[in-house]
Structure 1
Amino acid sequence: MSIHGGRGGRERLVVIGGDAAGMSAASQARRMRGPDELEIVAFERGHFTSYSACGIPYWVGGDVSERDHLVARTPEEHRARDIDLRMRTEVTEIDLAGGRVRARDVETGEESWTSYDKLVIATGAAPVRPDMPGVEAPGVHGVQTLDDGQALLDTLSATRGRRAVVVGAGYIGVEMAEALIKRGFEVTVVNRGREPMSTLDPDMGRLVHRAMEGLGITMVNDTEVTKVLTGDGGTSLLERSREPGGGRVRAVATEDAEYPADVVVLGIGVRPATGLARAAGLPLGAHGGLLTDLGMRVRGQENVWAGGDCVEVLNLVSGQEQYVPLGTHANKHGQVVGTNVGGGYATFPGVVGTAVSKVCDLEIARTGLREKDAERVGLQYETVTIESTSRAGYYPGASPMTVKMLAERRTGRLLGVQIVGREGAGKRVDIAAVALTAGMTVEQMTALDLGYAPPFSPVWDPVLVAARKAAAKVRAGSR
């Protein structure tokens, strides 16, 4: 084992993780301080850097033709900016007292220690793999990294059968179900929730359910997968192991049914990849993510920062820490971390929980709190749900849109918005996201001066229609 040190008087920044948060931090720190002042060493265990994990379902489904289209900056481009980026190298230990990390070359197994003056932890998230029999069988895939996406595509190409089961119906599960349909697979989604998209209230999730069935996807809700079945089911384990492809997935099982599968995709979600941080004794929150201050510095540490999918963030509506693994946040975290590491000043105040997705041409958006979120933090609320259209009703192409809005009882403060509709629905959630960030009431929202022309909106935008009804309900409840 070797030890890397001796920096000629320069400070050394070590970054663990080569995707959005880690390389944004490294790049911003480099802009702030040149190589004569700051040496930057970054470790990435995979084959790719600075890529869009959010784009993987669209690559798998064929909407994005080339894997490299998802890569924003290659390792060579980072190195050209004087960042010592070490690919296929996994950090296995953080020694806080000694100010160093131990890393292992994935190909050779060689280990070495690298000292640091400042450390950035951007280890991201890992797909949730339930603890059940057969989950590690060939043909079962989690999808979080480009390596994961490539492995899934390789399996899809080599699989003779055309039956796929997606376990879970969150963002990843729904998007992967659509991608598999586009690849010509017969798709069943097994979901333990009442409706798909648990980030929505069930009444809005039901709209997504109908759209998925319209695509030919079989939805099985209120059901939990208990095991993954392998082999052909009629031979011994020894005989199956000798067959070509023996031990591969053949079905998933629930308490009372089996669903045949030639490939299984785990769309249950992700959890923060904080095993290194936990072993080092760094503070973790209720969701398992690292806890930081407003400058993204790990709490209780002078020279350690963290960002991206391995951290928890403040929800500005509920006032509580939340785990929100999104690329938008990761890039912002990286900018904040890099600025502070580089000697500047920046903060990340928190989020309101905005996200958009789609199933075919159905757009799905949410921001703020769901009903159960409001109840969990003790907020009383009113809800309204309205039906409107994306454009003036008489203008060609107008399509239906459903908007649900939550407002705090008595005060009328906006708490959350969910939107499901066709073209033009999803990005309308940004109106609500800005209103939430500003702490607006639904009454104040009714006076927002939004753009109007028949090709873009009815004269009363659907979000404002919902705000009017919510304001009226709040007023009625206050009498």
Structure 2
Amino acid sequence: MERLVVIGGDAAGGATAAQARRRRGADDLEIVVVERGPYTSYSACGVPYWVGGLVAGPDALIARSPEEHRRRGLDVRLDTEAEGIDLDKREVEVRDTATGAAHRIGFDHLVLATGATPVRPPIPGIDAPGVYGVQTLDDGRALIDGFAPARTRAVVIGGGYIGIEMAEAMKQRGLAVTVLDRGAQPMSTLDPDMGVLVHTQMEALGIDVVTGADIQGIETAPDGRVRAVVTSDAEYPADVVVLGTGVRPATELARAAGLPLGDSGGIRTDLRMRVWGDDARHAGVWAAGDCVEVLNLVSGRFQHIPLGTHANKQGRVAGMNIGGDYATFPGVVGTAVSKVCDLEIGRTGLREKDAEAAGFAYETAVIESTGRAGYYPGADTMTVKMIAERVSGRLLGVQIVGRDGAAKRIDTAAVALTARMTAEDVTALDLGYAPPFSPVWDPILVAARKVAGKVAGPAL
């Protein structure tokens, strides 16, 4: 009988193990899942909404508990950390985090689903009480437990997805919120001209946003708890500091074992999620989730894009292949959505600087439209930016900022990018229309029409 060892029991690891088990019974394949924490298969993306009070508690964020996995024939070992991989002996060295006891587990198949690690900038005071990350359910519980009536001021460091979502959570908790971001505008996954729209709307919602923030340190009170965040220009009082400074792929185990890493630091795999390379020791070694790189289907380059959607799909692909089926994960177009209060944000494909780095000559178009017929009650404005390759008209990227269903319109653009459609192709899409849902010309079509005119000649 063969043994599959999965390192990491969250989205990618849980999906891998579940898919492999569906295809191979316990008398054919032993499956051991090693998880260093106390939970499996939970939604880290939901933590800001739990913190903000929109989700009742951590149980709502757990898709499949350790007990459920065990009932399906998986040997789930919680609070067990993998500390080394011996590819020659085909063993994983693990340690019980409670007792410190260490032992080795042999494997025929090995899946690295080690996820990503929050970036903690090396600034003085970052480990002080009152400074929180939001990567795990334990992080969310610690932050909620840290709230108190006298703690009324929050500073969020970082203006990316986690940063703006945590700013919303703190706002819903009734705290005065300041976001400090080192970039020219928040949401660096957008072009600056779209990021400024997010900045303006966050300020209108009562969230202070400071850009170009050069953080020097975190000051503490006499009791050691956080008191303020200090930048090169000012000091921002804080009772609570939340880190939204991004993540990096957790690849220490892979690196130490000599597995191939890409330019962005993630593990490089083939389309079936097998670890890349022709080294015979890599046979039966797979990787999935936030620890791997993915191919951007628009730019043709590999990137680290840590999202739960990718992790679940990659885990499913790895598990299917280990189970004897055939599946591939061809890549992504870089689609993501978020919101802060009622402001919705969506993006897919390339930003202007991505297009330049990939060598594209391009044109852009920015339009304002409404999400419903202008005369229909509740119609609100959204801004759509579209980027297309010059001459060919191939769609390269789309960004949307607005309200009233703005964010999910990005899915239309994501499909168009995946199909390598031109802007002119997009103008002819047969999208649904009724006044409660869209104007006659959907905002995506309006933007496509405008950019198609710029790449192909006179405006249409």
TM-score range, shorter chain: over 0.9
Q: How does 1:61-80 map to 2 (within 5 A)?
A: 61-80=52-71
| Partner Cα separation in structure 1 for residue 367 and residue 432 of structure 2 | 20
Q: Does 1:353 align with 2:334?
A: yes
Q: Does 1:202 align with 2:173?
A: no
Deviation at 1:97, TM superposition (A): 1.2
Q: How does 1:51-70 map to 2 (within 5 A)?
A: 51-70=42-61
| Partner Cα separation in structure 2 for residue 227 and residue 337 of structure 1 | 43
Deviation at 1:476, TM superposition (A): 2.0
CA contact (8 A) 1:226 1:255 kept: yes
Aligned to 1:182: 172
Deviation at 1:161, TM superposition (A): 2.2
Which shows bigger deviation, 217-226 or 412-421? 217-226
| Partner Cα separation in structure 2 for residue 127 and residue 183 of structure 1 | 24
Q: TM-score, normalised by structure 1?
A: 0.93
Deviation at 1:449, TM superposition (A): 0.7
1:287 aligns with one of 260, 264, 280: 264
Deviation at 1:57, TM superposition (A): 0.5
Which shows bigger deviation, 206-215 or 346-355? 206-215
Aligned to 2:131: 140
* Secondary structure, aligned partner of 2:353: helix
Deviation at 1:256, TM superposition (A): 2.3
CA contact (8 A) 1:211 1:359 kept: no
* Secondary structure, aligned partner of 2:391: coil
2:88 aligns with one of 93, 97, 113: 97
Q: Does 1:269 align with 2:246?
A: yes
Deviation at 1:163, TM superposition (A): 1.1
Deviation at 1:258, TM superposition (A): 1.2
* Secondary structure, aligned partner of 1:18: coil
| Partner Cα separation in structure 1 for residue 406 and residue 238 of structure 2 | 34
One-letter amino acid matched to 2:108: D
CA contact (8 A) 1:409 1:477 kept: no
* Secondary structure, aligned partner of 2:162: helix
2:318 aligns with one of 326, 337, 341: 337
| Partner Cα separation in structure 2 for residue 428 and residue 22 of structure 1 | 30
Deviation at 1:477, TM superposition (A): 8.0
Give 5+ residue unaligned stretches, structure 2. none
Q: How does 1:193-272 map to 2 (within 5 A)?
A: 193-231=183-221, 240=222, 246-272=223-249
| Partner Cα separation in structure 2 for residue 221 and residue 210 of structure 1 | 12
* Secondary structure, aligned partner of 1:284: coil
Aligned to 2:439: 458
Which shows bigger deviation, 206-215 or 18-27? 206-215
One-letter amino acid matched to 1:24: A
Aligned to 2:152: 162
Q: TM-score, normalised by structure 2?
A: 0.97
Deviation at 1:224, TM superposition (A): 2.1
Q: Does 1:379 align with 2:356?
A: no
Query: Could you report, residue by residue, the CA deviation over 1:321-364 in whole angstroms, capped at 9, with x for unpaired residues?
Result: 01110000000001000011111111000000000001111110
| Partner Cα separation in structure 1 for residue 38 and residue 214 of structure 2 | 34
Deviation at 1:69, TM superposition (A): 0.3
* Secondary structure, aligned partner of 2:6: strand
Deviation at 1:178, TM superposition (A): 0.6
Q: How does 1:112-127 map to 2 (within 5 A)?
A: 112-127=103-118
Q: Does 1:320 align with 2:305?
A: no
Query: Could you report, residue by residue, the CA deviation over 1:205-225 in whole angstroms, capped at 9, with x for unpaired residues?
Result: 111112211221111101121
One-letter amino acid matched to 1:170: G
Aligned to 1:153: 144
Deviation at 1:385, TM superposition (A): 0.3
One-letter amino acid matched to 1:359: V
| Partner Cα separation in structure 2 for residue 286 and residue 141 of structure 1 | 29
Q: How does 1:440-459 map to 2 (within 5 A)?
A: 440-459=421-440
CA contact (8 A) 1:121 1:305 kept: yes
Q: 1:119 to 1:59 in 2, by over 3 A?
A: same
Query: Could you report, residue by residue, the CA deviation over 1:373-408 in whole angstroms, capped at 9, with x for unpaired residues?
Result: 111111111000001000111111111111000000
| Partner Cα separation in structure 2 for residue 151 and residue 275 of structure 1 | 26
Aligned to 2:406: 425
1:391 aligns with one of 350, 372, 392: 372
CA contact (8 A) 1:389 1:458 kept: yes
Aligned to 1:6: none
Alpha-carbon RMSD: 1.2
| Partner Cα separation in structure 2 for residue 152 and residue 274 of structure 1 | 27
* Secondary structure, aligned partner of 2:457: helix
| Partner Cα separation in structure 2 for residue 468 and residue 410 of structure 1 | 15
| Partner Cα separation in structure 2 for residue 405 and residue 477 of structure 1 | 17
Deviation at 1:184, TM superposition (A): 1.4
| Partner Cα separation in structure 2 for residue 39 and residue 164 of structure 1 | 48
Q: Does 1:31 align with 2:22?
A: yes
1:106 aligns with one of 83, 97, 112: 97
Query: Could you report, residue by residue, the CA deviation over 1:262-314 in whole angstroms, capped at 9, with x for unpaired residues?
Result: 11111011111111111111111111111100011111221110011111100
Which shows bigger deviation, 74-83 or 204-213? 204-213
| Partner Cα separation in structure 2 for residue 89 and residue 423 of structure 1 | 45
| Partner Cα separation in structure 2 for residue 253 and residue 96 of structure 1 | 47
One-letter amino acid matched to 1:46: G
2:395 aligns with one of 407, 414, 417: 414
* Secondary structure, aligned partner of 1:76: helix
Percent identity over the alignment is: 69
Q: Does 1:363 align with 2:344?
A: yes
* Secondary structure, aligned partner of 1:226: strand
| Partner Cα separation in structure 1 for residue 383 and residue 51 of structure 2 | 29
Aligned to 1:309: 290
Aligned to 1:4: none
Give 5+ residue unaligned stretches, structure 1. 1-9, 232-239, 241-245
| Partner Cα separation in structure 1 for residue 228 and residue 263 of structure 2 | 34
| Partner Cα separation in structure 1 for residue 37 and residue 448 of structure 2 | 46
* Secondary structure, aligned partner of 1:156: coil
CA contact (8 A) 1:413 1:441 kept: yes
One-letter amino acid matched to 1:447: A
Query: Could you report, residue by residue, the CA deviation over 1:115-150 in whole angstroms, capped at 9, with x for unpaired residues?
Result: 100000001011110112111111111111111111
